[in-house]
Chain A
Amino acid sequence: DAKTTQPTSMDCAEGRAANLPCNHSTISGNEYVYWYRQIHSQGPQYIIHGLKNNETNEMASLIITEDRKSSTLILPHATLRDSAVYYCIVRINDMRFGAGTRLTVKP
């Protein structure tokens, strides 16, 4: 079973920040938090990952709580093309994806 819990779905207004939460209360000290997204029937696309520190790249920011038991993926200015299923994964070798969060960006 996946080690993460995410809301089933979320809506966000176009141009606003989308904040996607993930709980991973059983995370161990050397496990990374990874985020992927899947648009329609395409293969999942890597977004970002982190261990302890907050991370930012051209796609998103990742905020990890100090106790590492939860994290938030932030899409700073969501566009309609960001509508997708977003998966939060905690892993070294555990390859199991949960159901993810279906983000719908609305005009």
Chain B
Amino acid sequence: GAGVSQSPSNKVTEKGKDVELRCDPISGHTALYWYRQSLGQGLEFLIYFQGNSAPDKSGLPSDRFSAERTGGSVSTLTIQRTQQEDSAVYLCASSSLPGDTQYFGPGTRLTVL
């Protein structure tokens, strides 16, 4: 079936604006993860959803960042009052069960001017 998809593929916004990034995981995958990667840097964990459990938000860098996962499927990562340092590629991944192989989406490249 289809892999993990993310939209938009690119987003350019002005400082101070809010943005929403979407992730469609592989159907049936119970675990969903968000990461971000700044230019030339490694992957930075943001948040993790597993089934109906409370999400692990320990990686969110500030309270401007939030994420939801509705119906155990699609997830939206929201960044409020964007700052230039938020510019990065935001990657979503899903796995069938926690600890199983993660499958990554193509990412959303966010540029904050």
Contact = CB atoms under 8 A, between A and B. Distances in A.
Interface of A: 32, 34, 36, 38, 41-46, 49, 85, 87, 91-93, 95-100
A87 B103 contact: no
Nearest to B99: A92
Main secondary structure of the interface of A (DSSP, over half): loop
Interface of B: 4, 33, 35, 42-43, 45, 48, 50, 56, 59, 89, 91, 93, 98-99, 101-107, 109
A96 to B, nearest CB: 5
B69 to A, nearest CB: 15
Contacts, number: 53
B45 A41 contact: no
Contact of B105 (A41, A43, A96): A43
Given A43-B106, A43-B107, A44-B104, A32 B35 contact: no
Contacts of A95: 33, 35, 45, 48, 56, 59, 102
